[in-house]
Amino acid sequence: MGIRLKVLIVDDSAFFRNRIAAALNPAEEIEIVGTAANGQEAIDKAQALRPDVITMDVEMPLVDGISAVRTIMAESPTRIIMFSALTKEGAKETLEALDAGALDFLPKDMRGSGRSGEEINDLLLERVRAVGRARLPATKPAGTHFRPQVIRASAGGREVKPSMVAIGASTGGPVALRQVLTALPRNYSLPVVVAVHMPGSFTKAFAERLNAVCAVEVKEAVDRETLKPGLVLIAPGGKQMTVERGPSGQQVRVTDPLPGQIYHPSVDLLLSSVATGFNGNALAIVLTGMGSDGMEGAKKLKSAGSGVWSQSEKSCVVYGMPQAVEKAGLSDRVLTLDEIGPTLARVI
């Protein structure tokens, strides 16, 4: 047996601690090294046990989960998955935890998701394994110096003047998107559409949080909303978002997912619609995330003549989605997270 993945389970509910343990115990490569019933215990045990992954509740006595994440990331940086309520307040708290350094999150009550108990356990195992392989975020951005000249997107060795930008992300995506979008200036000349794998109750709070810190306008998309320069539209969680031509120009369509569609929103579906609607005049960016969502859409964009960028392995939390794009030979540029925003700001 190889190196085991050490996990610390943190929750004030003994029932939930046991539930997580029951899901993880059957996996031979996972070792539960301890449990904690509050944030202070979590801080102490993170120091003493040095786990590879911590599953962290938000609301706990003595020290809450968000404060515990901040302290752990300052004193003994560890990969952390948050368990949060699928509510407006739960979304706000989870986004604060991600800002503090948590890498991923799962809804605490997944019984209403339509998944069986076995499927829920499989999902938890999959996330713990993925986060256990993830890179810890840098404590400070590396800082890259850019020359001030304007650049163009590139596609297949030629310069492309894009009419819009489409971005896809999953695990690690909320923090990555914040870093990219805060680099765009107030007068940014291109519309931006974004699909990130998040629950429906989270995307509105996520968009509002980004809008508060970005120079560009960021909002959760509504059906038939027109694309505008400097406007970033976030696909609502639990829905599908595509781009099509409308009476006032290009617009988004927000629809219910069809049976069998794994991701909603789907990066593949969004990028495929952009490939059809923009005739090779688009730029797609695939950021950190688990799986390969976005690869098929990127292939259609490249076939249409658009440009595709992907996030570099060393700067990803999980190098799944960008890896699929790069391995398929679709990436015109492979950029670190520190490079993507400032470079995108100079694309006209």
Q: How many CB atoms lie within 10 A of CB 11?
A: 25
Distance CA 38, CA 56 (A): 9
- Among 11, 52, 268, 293, the one annotated catalytic: 293
Which is it for strands 231-234 and 240-246: parallel, antiparallel or unpaired?
unpaired
Q: Judge contact between 10 and 54, C-beta under 8 A.
A: yes
Catalytic residue among 170, 272, 273, 310: 170
Cα(172)–Cα(273) distance, rounded to whole angstroms? 24
Amino acid type, 80: I
Angstrom CA distances, 177 to 40, 181, 216, 254, 258, stand at: 31, 6, 13, 21, 27
HEC per residue, the chain: CCCCEEEEEECCCHHHHHHHHHHHCCCCCEEEEEEECCHHHHHHHHHHHCCCEEEEECCCCCCCHHHHHHHHHHHCCCEEEEEECCCHHHHHHHHHHHHHCCCEEEECCCHHHCCCHHHHHHHHHHHHHHHHHCCCCCCCCCCCCCCCCCECEEECCEEECCCEEEEEECCCHHHHHHHHHCCCCCCCCCCEEEEECCCHHHHHHHHHHHHHHCCCEEEECCCCCECCCCEEEECCCCCEEEEEEECCEEEEEEECCCCCCCCCCCHHHHHHHHHHHCCCCEEEEECCECCCCCHHHHHHHHHHCCEEEEECHHHCCCECHHHHHHHCCCCCEEECHHHHHHHHHCEC
Q: Is 264 a catalytic residue?
A: no
Spot the catalytic one: 11, 84, 163, 197: 197
- Please indicate whether residue 170 is annotated as part of the active site: yes
The residues pairing with 167 across neighbouring beta strands, listed in sequence order, are 194, 285
Is 273 catalytic? The answer is: no
Active site residues: 170, 197, 293
